[in-house]
Amino acid sequence: MSHPYLSAILPGQGLSIPGPMITQGQAFFVNPYYGTGNGKKPSGAFTSLAVAKDKMTTNKNDVAYMLGAHNTSTYTTDYLSATLDWDKDLAHIIGIGAGQLFSPRSRIGFASTYNTASNLFTVSGNGNLFQGLQFYAGVAGTLPTGALQVTGSRNVFRNCHIAGIGATTNDIAGAYSLYLNGGAENLFENCVIGLDTIDRGTALNYEILVNNGAARNVFRHCIILSRIKHATNHPQVYFGSATALGDPSFTMFDHCTFINTSTNYAYTQTYIIAEAANLTAGVCIVKFGMGIGATYWSAASGHVVVNNTAKPSDYTAGIGYSA
């Protein structure tokens, strides 16, 4: 298990690079509640991802395996008291568990005392794989901004649940589940982004915020999920400025499902996709998608192109097209 050239011989949930993963790097193991050792084997795992990251070498394809250890979140969550910045390149985190879409038990969350105007986890590094993880920003504070911020490029997120605004007190203007803050060419595949267990409140906030030249990011087979409490103040995708995509580029949602729910069907989302200002370059592409609980994909000037998209018959008037 501790051989530096065999990153894993583990019954994971279908590693994207078939195991054993042959690499020039090393494997480290993380078990937040039960960890006791130097991270070189599952029975002596590190207690936190921060410790594992300090031991990993950038550009070596080192892997941190986060071990799902219990169905109860208390025993399987790495609780952070400050934002963890994953600032290394080609340094991967893979959750070991069943591989479910919702709330994987390889979990990263806020400590209960956290109440800082910042996000849970930042990926400023490049070329990393994050798989089988939950990023959960749920704490009874009035300041936390979101779950995951990505400023790096060419990262892959697979089978992850990215959930911000995880407490009713997080009704904060500008809050989000995922913020693509200039990060480009990232792939989100088979991910769940958002929650339908917590009202998103009445402040203007989002599941996915895109800004500062975040170009060529692709979402494939993802579920974008919201429990809304306002018709217009929680667009599921929000472009934060006219130059959100930088040079002429795109954001693509390929075979994604956008679900808006509300208690007693009280609210219908007006626009799934919205902008702070009309984009001056680039386009948002919705390819073979479905929208539920909303009236329109975007405003007519939204630079949103919808291709062969399902129009479900749900409890709203249906989804409109715009281009």
Domain that residue 226 falls in: 99-307
Question: For position 318, what pLDDT does the model report?
Answer: 35
* Domain-embedded: residue 200: yes
Give the chain's domain count.
Answer: 1
Q: Which two tokens stand for residue 269?
A: 């989302």
* Domain-embedded: residue 315: no
Q: What CATH number is attached to the domain comprising 289? A: 2.160.20
| pLDDT tens string 56-113 | 999 999 999 999 989 999 999 999 999 999 999 999 999 998 889 999 999 999 999 9
pLDDT at residue 10 greater than cutoff 80:
no
Mean pLDDT confidence for 240-259 = 94
Strands, DSSP E only, in 167-282? 176-181, 187-189, 192-199, 208-211, 217-220, 223-227, 237-239, 250-254, 257-261, 269-271, 273-275
* Domain-embedded: residue 109: yes
* Domain-embedded: residue 205: yes
> 84: closest CA among 137, 140, 12, 28?
137
Whether the Cβ atoms of residue 177 and residue 146 lie closer than 8 Å to each other: yes
Mean pLDDT confidence for 213-222 = 97
pLDDT at residue 21 greater than cutoff 90:
no
* Domain-embedded: residue 17: no
* Domain-embedded: residue 117: yes
* Domain-embedded: residue 81: no
Whether the Cβ atoms of residue 37 and residue 43 lie closer than 8 Å to each other: yes
Question: For position 6, what pLDDT does the model report?
Answer: 43
